[in-house]
Structure 1
Amino acid sequence: MELEKLAAGLKDTYPEGVVGERESLVALLMARGYPHPQAQELARALEAQGYAHFLPGERPRWAFTRRPVDLKALMRALDREYAEFVGEGDEEEEALAFLTARLEGDREVAKEVLEALRSAGYVERAYSPELLRDRFFFRFPEVLRLWA
């Protein structure tokens, strides 16, 4: 499928995503040789099918995944369930384990999602006094409100 190949190519070329607002994805596709109407159509299709994800906020960017991901549902699960999931151990490994479980065992895509959220400023490592150790905190309730 063309979208799958395009998404994989974008992920390989831009592993940390593309900084910019919504128009930047169309501009990126046009720079790759697609005419404007086709670039707009591809951008919509990539987003609709879960290969491209716009992450608004302090560091707005487009993130790409090699396989379709329902990022809204994943972020809601993180917001609701991640705190109860965290136990003892390495904070990055815990976050990856949580994401991997929600992505049907696909650890590579879980890494892509974690890196995208980190690049957009939605993940920070901080000390948790309740757990007496460092952990990851996911902070994006304002984005969830935008998608509501």
Structure 2
Amino acid sequence: MAEDLNILKGTKEEQYKSLIPQIQALVQGETNRIANMANVCAALKEQFHFFWVGFYIVEGDELVLGPFQGPVACTRIGLGRGVCGAAWEKEASIIVPDVEAFPGHIACSSLSKSEIVIPVWEGNTCIGILDVDSDRLNDFDLVDLKNLEDIVKIFNKS
């Protein structure tokens, strides 16, 4: 199925509109959240060539590294630490145009320049974080925010 992903050119919005139904098809009927997270990471990485795409999963009072695509990453992140920990604590998505300007940013890689982080929900509980990094400054916008939030909502329906 992964080889069927339609990698296309076009605006970012057009690419998301093409990718979201493919992600829905990938996760439909699969009940294993880790498997679904892995396929979402691969699909996003292939489509957009982001520097790093991955999930952190809430485990007690930490976020623990889950499925990802990209270079080696931080394994554990505390509540409120870095961009991921801040999004978890605030229970809100965060766009960071320049990670160097984000107070307390955790530099897993010096090549990461901008970041977007989206909470993953199960009912009213944040169970994880989708973290996407770019090696370009100011690479994420409201188009990414809306579409990545839509993508993580797919988990509640799979």
Q: Same fold (TM over 0.5)?
A: no
TM-score of the aligned structures, taking structure 1 as reference length: 0.30
Higher strand share: 2
TM-score of the aligned structures, taking structure 2 as reference length: 0.29
Q: Between Structure 1 and Structure 2, whose CA radius of gyration is higher? A: 1
Higher helix share: 1
